[in-house]
Amino acid sequence: MKYQIIVDSCSDIDKYYLEGTGIGLKIVPLTINVGDNEYVDEGDVKIEEMLKNLKTPKVKSSSACPSPQAFKDEFDKADYTFVVTITSKLSGCYNSALLAKNEHPNSAHIHVIDSKAVSGTEILIVDKLVELINSGLDFDTIVSEIEKYRDNCTLFFVLQRFDNLVNNGRMSKIAGLIASTISLKPICKAVDGEIRIVKKIIGSKHLFSKLAEMIKEVLNGDKDRKIIISHCYAEDEAEELKYHIEKICGSQNIKIIPMHALTSYYALEKGVIVCF
């Protein structure tokens, strides 16, 4: 195989996503520990059960990134490898993949991409990689182009609860306190890989229309840009956001996907992420 793409499970990507493209795809799972239960995010996790266990009083939970060996084991399966990971500001996954690359004899043909985001952003990067590979560009040019593309990706998200982001040090307690105020519904954004609250909406009535207006500002008239909405048991909310994006931005290339285990662990029920 000439090219392959490796992603971590925070991408929320389906294992058959690149079937028929001639490009290999491997999903390296992260692990979630909830009390005595271990959930390896390999696509078959009973997410509803995991979220229920998280509600157990005083239960301790954490997530763990893959070892460098988990990435290294895959590198010999193609001449050229691209690795796309969750933002390095929230996980050690990027550093693990980078260490695996640096220890591999074919490191010059391996490129690790810090998505500086999660979920749909990783999928967008995969899609762009496929486009660049199929265009016939050489490896070094693809590396340059994909880094530029990554820097132009945007992620917003809306959560009902911020418990695990705060408890696991992914969000400051002060920001978490603001986010958890019942009357305020914060719109958050990934800024250089870190979580920032960028707008606070009073009540939820106009939450998704306001978010769509913020998306419109970023799109700047680009109605063809691909948009991915991922959700944790929030299909109605995802559909509502899609409706407002179509109405306010004129966008039609919008896809809704369910979150896998790791993203669900941090977003929790009713969490919605939009990437473009």
Q: What is the pLDDT of residues 170-223, one digit of tens each?
A: 766 555 555 566 567 889 999 988 888 888 887 677 899 999 999 999 999 999
Contact 51, 62 (CB under 8 A): no
Whether 266 contacts 167, CB under 8 Å = no
Q: What is the C-alpha to C-alpha distance for residues 77 and 24, in angstroms, rounded to an integer?
A: 9
Reading the chain (276 residues) residue by residue, the pLDDT tens digits are: 999 999 999 999 999 999 999 999 999 999 999 999 999 999 899 999 999 999 999 899 999 999 999 999 999 999 999 999 999 998 999 999 999 999 999 999 999 999 999 999 999 999 999 999 999 999 999 999 999 999 999 999 999 887 777 776 676 655 555 556 656 788 999 998 888 888 888 767 789 999 999 999 999 999 999 999 999 999 999 999 999 999 999 999 999 999 999 999 999 999 999 999
First-to-last alpha carbon distance for the chain, in angstroms, is 30
Q: Give, for 195, the enclosing helix (H) or strand (E).
A: strand 194-202
The CATH topology of domain 3-30+65-151 is Rossmann fold (3.40.50)
Domain borders along the chain are 3-30+65-151, 155-275
> For the segment 29-44, what is each residue's pLDDT rounded down to a tens digit?
999 999 999 999 998 9
C-alpha to C-alpha distance for 121 and 175, rounded to whole angstroms: 23
Given a contact cutoff of 8 angstroms between Cβ atoms, the answer to whether 220 and 242 are in contact is no
Whole-structure pTM value: 0.93
> What architecture (CATH level 2) is domain 155-275?
2-Layer Sandwich (3.30)
Residue 22 DSSP one-character state: T
Instruction: Tell me the CA distances in angstroms from 67 to 10, 86, 161, one per residue in order.
Output: 15, 14, 29
